[in-house]
Amino acid sequence: MKPPAISSSIAPSDAISRTEMPGVCTRGKVRDIYDLPDGLLIVATDRISAFDVVMEDPVPDKGRILNTLSAFWLNTLPACRPHHLEYVVTRGHCPEQFQRYAAMLDQRAMVVKQAEVMPIECVVRGYLAGGGWKEYRADGRVSGVELPRGLVECDRLERPIFTPSTKAVAGHDEPIGFERAEQIAIEFAHKLGHSSDDGRRWIGQARSRALDIYEAARVWGEARGVIIADTKFEFGVRDGQLLLVDEVLTPDSSRFWPKADYRPGRAQPSFDKQYLREYLESLDWDKRPPPPPLPPEVIENTRRRYRQALELLTAEAA
């Protein structure tokens, strides 16, 4: 599947930091979500966050890249089904009440089925990096999963592991073990009027599906020169069925490394948000609002890495 064309020369003034359209809107860190008569319109803006803080400066074209890549995976990997995507918005295919905004929404919005989202981040790790590496150094485990001794930073794991975390409304997500994730899923099921067994079934399905999707994507990426080190998924329930929802395998939710440059025992070059995080780590900033301004070169380099991820992952296999 060839992704829609994305301009390589969009000026910063064309970035979309926030949408202002009629209707009920819920805003996340990156996405603006509008109610539809039978579903939702999810708009990927050009906002970017790091350390759970939304930057003041947007990254032009970022929303369209995220939206295009998410839709690509949902339409390409059978393991992603069932999912919430109905269609990607284009100038010629836009919900009637938002038709006057079709040019702005083109390729940066999708119409989806509405689902009750389980309050768990379903993280899958195939390599030992980021927060997983920090946990492992502390006690040899990641989210309660015991790993072999002697691993080094960014080592490939023998088998990918499921390492869920809380889905914080504010502040930072916290890593949890599967037993705690199951308890949260049971509480979630009760709120929906379902049984404890339903909650256990949903979290079991979420774990199994997250691992299957990750493995399929990992094989796909490696054939195109990209290591997908880890990623996170979200699942929601609609009519008792578990649907894959939200963004899927994007530079915002995953670590993408160039396969040719991979060397365990060190941090890896990347096609994702890690470049921005490293820049922010170099500043005297306490990782609380307000965020520092982003220099134009940091914005452009971030944008370039996101585009590289899209182009490589949607290419024909090498």
Model pLDDT for residues 87-141, shown as the tens digit of each residue: 999 999 999 999 999 999 999 999 999 999 999 999 999 999 999 999 999 999 9
Q: Based on the domain organization, do 124 and 208 belong to the same domain?
A: yes
pLDDT band at 3 (very low <50, low <70, confident <90, very high): low
Tell whether the model's pLDDT for residue 279 goes beyond 50.
yes
Q: Are residues 102 and 228 in the same domain?
A: no
| Average pLDDT of the residues in 48-62 | 95
Q: In this predicted structure, what is the pLDDT of residue 5?
A: 59
Query: For position 169, what pLDDT does the model report?
Result: 64
Residue 125 lies in a domain: yes
With a cut of 80, say whether residue 40 has pLDDT above it.
yes
Are residues 228 and 142 part of one domain? yes
The encoded tokens of residue 266 equal 């060190």
Give yes or no: residues 146 and 215 share one domain: yes
Q: What is the pLDDT of residue 13?
A: 45
* Residue 172 pLDDT > 80: no
Residue 65 belongs to a domain: yes
Residue 318, pLDDT > 80, answer: no
pLDDT of residue 9: 45
User: Do both 242 and 157 map to the same domain?
Assistant: yes
Please report the DSSP string for 134-161 in residue order.
HHHHHHSEETTEE--TT--TTPEEEEEE
300 domain-assigned? no
Is the model's pLDDT at 146 over the cut of 70? yes
| The pairing of beta strand 241-245 with beta strand 156-162 | unpaired
Mean pLDDT confidence for 27-46: 97
Note the pLDDT of residue 12: 45
Which helix (H) or strand (E) covers residue 60, if one does? none
**What is the amino acid identity at position 183?**
Q
Instruction: Identify the domain containing residue 224 by its residue range.
Output: 117-261
CA 310 to chain centre: 13
Q: How confident is residue 44, by pLDDT bands cut at 50, 70 and 90?
A: very high
Question: Can you state the percent helix, strand and coil of the chain, rounding each to 5?
Answer: 35, 25, 40
Length in residues, the chain: 318
Mean pLDDT of the chain: 94
CATH number assigned to the domain comprising residue 230: 3.30.470.20
Residue-wise pLDDT tens digits, 209-250: 999 999 999 999 999 999 999 999 999 999 999 999 999 999
Number of domains in the chain: 2
Q: Which two tokens stand for residue 70?
A: 């998410």
Residue 280 lies in a domain: no
How much of the chain exceeds pLDDT 70, in percent? 94
- Examine the domain organization and report whether 106 and 126 are in the same domain: no
| Residue 123 and residue 253 in one domain | yes
E-strand spans in the chain?
A: 25-27, 31-36, 39-44, 49-50, 53-54, 85-88, 109-112, 116-117, 120-127, 141-142, 145-146, 156-162, 165-166, 226-238, 241-245, 254-258
pTM: 0.94
Residue 109 resides in a domain: yes
Statement to judge: residues 159 and 253 lie in one domain: yes
Together in a domain, 145 and 84: no
Q: At CB < 8 A and 24+ separation, what contacts does 4-8 make?
A: 4/68, 4/88, 4/90, 4/107, 6/61, 6/64, 6/65, 6/68, 6/107, 6/307, 6/310, 7/61, 8/307
Please report where in the chains the tokens 């160039």 appear, as a residue: 258
| Of 7-16, 52-61, 130-139, 269-278, the least confident | 7-16
pLDDT band at 170 (very low <50, low <70, confident <90, very high): low
pLDDT in tens, 280-293: 999 999 999 999 99
Q: Among 69, 86, 114, identify where a domain stops.
A: 114
